[in-house]
Amino acid sequence: MKILVINTGSSSIKYQLFDMNINKAIASGILEKIGETDGRLTHFADSKTGERKKVVKDGKIEDHQKGLNQIVALLLDREFGVIRDISEITAVGHRVVHGGENLRSPVIINNDVINVIKKNIPLAPLHNPHNLTGIEIAGSIFTNAHQVAVFDTAFHHTIPEKAYLYALPIEFYKEHKIRRYGFHGTSHSYVSEECSKYLKKNLCELNMITIHLGNGASMAAIKNGQSIDTTMGMTPLEGLVMGTRSGDIDPSIAIFLADNRNMSIREIDNVLNKSSGLKGLCGSNDMRDVLQRKNADDYLAKIAFDVYTYRIKKYIGAYFASLGSLDCIIFTGGIGENSSEVRQTICHNLENLGIEIDQDKNNAAGNEAREISVFNSKVKVMVIPTNEELKIAQETKNVIENQGF
Ligand code: ADP
């Protein structure tokens, strides 16, 4: 069975075509700068001999529809393609950011589902409209394939009221569904399952804190396999310090900025999402750059690193308290998987909580799930590479099989 996973953004489409018999992507790529003159499609494909081929096509891609047509042409291409006919694709799995309160698990897309995703646009105005575009154009191209939506919010639907309600007038929740939802659900769920396989223990017997550190960043407290709290809120802005997002701030700062810097609501929104976080503090949102500068004694880079890692340490304490007992901490995402320095700083001095890192294991590079805590650490500390696309493909396969297709 072949499943195409699509992540449609405002000006980009990321895709991976999975062969589910081997649980592996056989082609992948990204289409960038849709609508601009310098559009680019970068496509990778595995040949039958296992060698990876790459092709880059530059030039204006007018809209998402034309972009997806180009992707399909490459999937079918004699040299760079991996399928002979479009009908080989059984299903298309779409990453949809916001499922709101009603869409709590992956679903086959029909008109009702589309209407609910549309209804959730006010909760995710930057994402859901583009996800809908992807659904619409994929439906027009892959006319015989099942279309499945997999939601970033779904894994967190088990979070209890006491953790998801904001202490605001209750009408705000009742009328507008203003509450915490959480995101990165496919990643938190994927690494928690991989951890249970690695430890050979049932997921429902494990308490974990998962720490996803990519450009966006979030943590989840997972009790007996279910999410009970997470750092992102109604939107992905809340919680940890991120590449360009502030994470937690005093909400009054927005009012102060409006009063004292004459900033509009849109300008404030833009600053909090696009020029805060690591970038706001030291001018760079790339952790590799921040680390290099910090280690060359750049003061602002050091401050940015300290604020970034301290926030995560603080949430470990909070989630340990929420969970009551903790079996493992999992690092994932570009930073979590690759920076031993970030992991070391976060876990430093947590021995009293039973968290102790082994320096050598932490410094050893690797692409597989691995343990980095000392032999007798009460809490196992793990690095587990995430694979959100594979998880979306697996969920898509499960949904269509459960429906008897
Ligand atoms: P996205 O959230 O867009 O999927 P990634 O998960 O790829 O992003 O994470 C991107 C972040 O990972 C960037 O801040 C980048 O600097 C960081 N990163 C990648 N490799 C390393 C590394 N070797 N050391 C430190 N940070 C890294």
The Cα 249–Cα 233 span in angstroms is 13
Q: Which of 284, 285, 286, 287 to mutate to test the pocket of ligand 1 (most atoms within 8 A of CB)?
A: 287
Name the closest-CA residue to atom 23, ligand 1.
Answer: 338
DSSP state of 379: B
| 109-141-139 Cα angle (round to 5) | 15
Q: What is the per-residue pLDDT for 125?
A: 87
Residues in contact with 338: Cβ distance below 8 Å, sequence separation at least 6, in sequence order: none
Q: Which of 194, 117, 182, 192 is nearest to 148 (CA)?
A: 117
Q: What is the per-residue pLDDT for 353?
A: 96
Ligand 1 proximity of 69 Cβ (cutoff 6 Å): no
The secondary structure element, H or E, covering residue 334 is helix 333-338
Catalytic status, residue 152: yes
Fold of 2-151: Nucleotidyltransferase; domain 5 (3.30.420)
pTM for this model (two decimals): 0.95
Query: Which of 77, 85, 112, 152 does the annotation list as catalytic?
Result: 152
Domain residue ranges of the chain, discontinuous segments joined by +: 2-151, 185-388
Q: What is the per-residue pLDDT for 404?
A: 84
Measured in degrees and rounded to the nearest 5, phi and psi for residue 89 equal: -85, 110
Mean pLDDT by 10 residues, the chain (405 residues): 95 96 94 93 87 92 94 93 94 95 94 94 90 95 95 97 98 97 97 97 98 97 98 97 97 98 97 97 97 98 98 98 98 97 98 97 95 96 97 96 87
Domains 2-151 and 185-388 share a fold: yes
CATH 3.30.420.40 fits 185-388, yes or no: yes
Q: What is the per-residue pLDDT for 63?
A: 94
Strand partners for 383: 331, 370
